[in-house]
């Protein structure tokens, strides 16, 4: 299993196991996917949708103002090959991206405000697939 971090708009990040990174991208990312390296290291990447204009705002992922819309994955990289994250890497990036954000609709300015997450830790936990059925 390949451990990846799944980040959905309005939710806290969570770790999930997938048969492969490509299977994860096809299940989680809406439309055609692309790999970005916004974290300042060549060892960690982000898999997101190429066409983000119609997707819900998700997160600003670094201090340079890189923002992502729609669901995305945080993954490990070995050159150009996508690999899973170690437990420590997954925990680190989960803390970094922990608070969901919302865009300021009045001014459309970024960075967006951080909001109290719809955190399942305080109640029944829904999986990614159960949320899709809602």
Q: Domain residue spans in the chain?
A: 2-132
Report if pTM > 0.85. no
Q: What is the pLDDT along the chain (134 residues), one digit of tens a residue?
A: 899 999 999 888 999 999 998 899 999 999 999 999 999 999 999 999 999 888 998 988 888 888 899 999 999 999 989 999 999 999 999 999 988 877 655 555 554 555 555 555 444 555 555 555 54
Question: What's the full length of the chain, in residues?
Answer: 134
Question: Would you state the structure tokens that stand for residue 19, as one six-digit string?
Answer: 């048969």
Q: What is the maximum span of the chain, computed from C-alpha positions, in angstroms?
A: 43
Spatial distance between the Cα atoms of 11 and 101, rounded to a whole number of angstroms:
9
Question: What is the three-class DSSP state of 101?
Answer: strand
Query: Is the separation of the CB atoms in 111 and 30 below 8 Å?
Result: no
- 77-88 burial code (b ≥16 CB/10 A, e <16): beeeebbbbeee
């Amino acid at each position: 299993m390949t451990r990846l971090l799944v980040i959905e708009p309005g939710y806290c990040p969570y770790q999930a196991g997938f048969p492969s990174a490509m299977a994860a991208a096809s299940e989680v990312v809406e439309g055609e996917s692309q790999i970005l390296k916004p974290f300042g290291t060549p060892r960690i990447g982000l898999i997101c949708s190429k066409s983000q204009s119609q997707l819900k705002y998700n997160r600003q992922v670094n201090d340079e103002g890189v923002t992502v819309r729609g669901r995305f994955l945080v993954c490990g990289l070995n050159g150009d090959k996508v690999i899973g994250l170690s437990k420590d890497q997954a925990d680190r990036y989960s803390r970094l991206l922990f608070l969901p954000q919302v865009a300021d609709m009045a001014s459309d300015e970024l960075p967006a405000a951080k909001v109290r997450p719809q955190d399942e830790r305080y109640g029944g936990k829904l999986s990614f697939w159960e949320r899709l059925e809602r």
